[in-house]
Amino acid sequence: MRLDMESGNSKCISDDIKINYMTVGTYSIVNPNEGHHLPPSHKLFVTVSSPKGKSHHHAENVESGKFVFTADETGDYMTCFVAPGYRPTAKFAVDFEWKSGVEAKDWTTIAKRGQITMLEVEVRKLLDVTETIHDEMFQLREREREMQELNRSTNSRMAALSLLSFVVTMSVAGLQLWHLKSFLERKKLL
């Protein structure tokens, strides 16, 4: 993806990553003048943090970089790009690629290292994908169980509040009838 940046501004992107998933990210500032060096205004501060705020990558005044880590918790991991203030204001683009899970594995390196055929690589990819789907199914079942428990507790609370509301309404109606009866007896209409 491509992000348009301006000096003094920041942009953050988050991705929901499961525990023990490998994550790979690469970023680089797009050079507006091919063949020339980037101007000094085209620098970034980059941070990658976990859902609980743990820093997995931090870089200052860089033009490009890469980060690789294995997620130690499930949740939204945030990557923030900050363009330091510069006068006059500079605008530039950043190419950013973020992969996690099965997508993050470098299958060509695995094939070269293990001296295996492309068919075997494809089979291993499929095995990883099925394992990922299997893990996600268990996570979905767990989330469904949590949602059902939340639904049951909300239902019981609503029933209790409905009963309380009914009792209060009947009490107020009874008090109104008693007050009306005593008022009419005082006026000798009853």
Residue pLDDT tens, the chain, 190 long: 888 888 888 899 998 888 888 888 899 988 777 777 777 777 889 999 999 989 989 999 888 899 888 888 888 999 999 988 777 777 888 899 988 876 666 666 655 655 667 677 778 888 888 988 998 999 999 999 999 999 999 999 999 999 999 999 999 999 999 999 999 989 887 6
CA distance 150 to 108: 46
Look-up of token digits 């101007």: 39
CA distances from 42 to 6, 45, 189 (A): 9, 11, 91
* Residue closest to 29 by CA, chosen among 8, 50, 51, 44: 44
